[in-house]
């Protein structure tokens, strides 16, 4: 038995191609990236503007809405530097007090309480964001594995429905679910049936449970709705990747962790960057309707604080200072999250 000679690849000219070293290949890639970075951006010319006139016209109403309702009211920030009284007329006829309102909010009479509500707001928001993001990703992965399309659509509709309920209705449902068994509290009834507790737990009177109640209620309401973007990102994955992995012997979980999750990572990062700007703008209705005097140390958020100690007491300057604080923190958080994503070579907003 003779040894068969292995044929070497040849080019169209019949000559053997020269193999380039790996270091040369990496150097060429780095050079290509540098040249791409040096390429000048396409200049905006009147011809390009005219060619895209339809798109620009469609964006005008949205642009006007943003200017009218987002930027024009910014002049009202002047109230933060005044002792504002509505009876004096225009905000330009008020008495200017400089940074006195900022001092009163952060270090004055309301300083300690305001610092506590900032911690409550961040705690509830971060917990809700983490639980909601993980829940939406897991549900999207599970729905992607459902091959029966009618059954999949039924599941999606069931999970979407709570999103369209008012937060007032959701708060009422949560209050009933967490009440005593005699009042319809099925959670207590279930815990007692499983012998996990010996007597009913008064959830809405225990401060340590409140953040979890807010996060769990938000998860139930928004879980299905938050999966929409993740499912859309999953559908954009090349099916050939799954077929190749299946040929290599990859199972369902291996494909999930090696293909699906890495492919939707840019979507996850961008959504986290966007949601980081809403850390201090947590849901208002749940803390307001579910909170009470027994849990106020854990339930009171910035929005509830502003309502009670700003608008209801006529202290509008304090309310504006709190709004400015939320805006500045939101900008810092979004910028920091975007910078961190850029440093980690992940998808960014800008």
Query: pTM for the whole thing?
Result: 0.80
Share of the chain above pLDDT 70, in %: 88
Tens digit of pLDDT for each residue in 15-33?
444 444 444 555 565 555 5
**Cα–Cα distance, 135 to 233 (Å, whole number):** 16
In a domain, 144, yes or no: yes
In a domain, 51, yes or no: no
Tens digit of pLDDT for each residue in 199-258?
999 999 999 999 999 999 999 999 999 999 999 999 999 989 988 998 988 888 899 999
In a domain, 206, yes or no: yes
Terminal C-alpha separation, the chain:
65
In a domain, 52, yes or no: no
CATH of the domain at 147: 1.10.3720.10
Q: Do 118 and 100 form a contact (C-beta atoms < 8 A)?
A: no
SS3 at position 163: helix
* pLDDT above 80 (res 14): no
Number of domains the chain is built from: 1
* pLDDT above 80 (res 170): yes
Average pLDDT over residues 81-93: 87
In a domain, 22, yes or no: no
Task: Give the structural domain span for 286.
Answer: 121-343
Tens digit of pLDDT for each residue in 36-60?
444 455 677 888 889 899 999 999 9
Predicted pLDDT of residue 227: 93
Q: Do 266 and 288 form a contact (C-beta atoms < 8 A)?
A: no
In a domain, 217, yes or no: yes
Predicted pLDDT of residue 18: 46
Tens digit of pLDDT for each residue in 254-300?
999 999 999 999 999 999 988 988 888 878 999 999 998 899 999 99
In a domain, 348, yes or no: no
Share of the chain above pLDDT 90, in %: 52
Three-state SS annotation for 55-82: HHHHHHHHHHHHHHHHHHHHHHHHHHHE
pLDDT: is 133 or 3 the higher one?
133
Average pLDDT over residues 181-195: 89
In a domain, 35, yes or no: no
């Amino acid at each position: 038995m003779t040894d068969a000679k292995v044929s070497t690849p040849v080019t169209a000219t019949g000559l053997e191609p020269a193999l380039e070293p790996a270091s040369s290949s990496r150097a060429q890639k780095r050079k290509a990236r540098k040249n791409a970075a040096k390429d000048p951006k396409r200049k905006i010319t009147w011809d390009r503007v005219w060619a895209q006139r339809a798109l620009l016209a469609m964006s005008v109403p949205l642009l006007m809405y943003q200017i009218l309702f987002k930027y024009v009211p910014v002049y009202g920030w002047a109230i933060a530097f005044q002792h504002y009284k509505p009876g004096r007329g225009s905000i330009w006829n008020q008495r200017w007090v400089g940074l006195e309102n900022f001092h009163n909010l952060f270090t004055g009479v309301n300083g300690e309480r305001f610092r506590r509500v900032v911690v409550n707001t961040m705690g509830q928001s971060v917990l809700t964001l983490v639980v909601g993001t993980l829940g939406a990703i897991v549900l999207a992965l599970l729905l992607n594995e459902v091959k029966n399309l009618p059954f999949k659509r039924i599941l999606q509709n069931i999970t979407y429905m709570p999103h369209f309920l008012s937060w007032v209705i959701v708060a009422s449902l949560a209050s009933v679910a967490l009440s005593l068994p005699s009042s319809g509290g099925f959670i207590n009834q279930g815990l007692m049936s499983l012998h996990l507790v010996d007597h009913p737990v008064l959830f809405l009177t225990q401060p340590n449970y409140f953040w979890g109640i807010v996060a769990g209620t938000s998860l139930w309401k928004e879980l299905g709705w938050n999966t929409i973007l993740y499912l859309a990102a999953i559908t954009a994955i090349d099916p050939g990747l799954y077929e190749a992995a299946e040929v290599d012997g990859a199972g369902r979980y291996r494909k999930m962790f090696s293909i699906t999750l890495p492919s939707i990572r840019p979507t996850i990062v961008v959504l986290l960057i966007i949601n980081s700007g809403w850390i201090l703008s947590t849901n208002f209705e749940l803390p307001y309707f579910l909170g009470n005097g027994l849990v106020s140390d854990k339930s009171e958020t910035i929005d509830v604080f502003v309502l009670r100690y700003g608008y209801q007491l006529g202290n509008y300057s304090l309310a504006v200072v709190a709004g400015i604080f939320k805006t500045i923190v939101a900008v810092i958080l979004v910028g920091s999250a975007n910078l961190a994503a850029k440093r980690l070579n992940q998808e960014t907003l800008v």
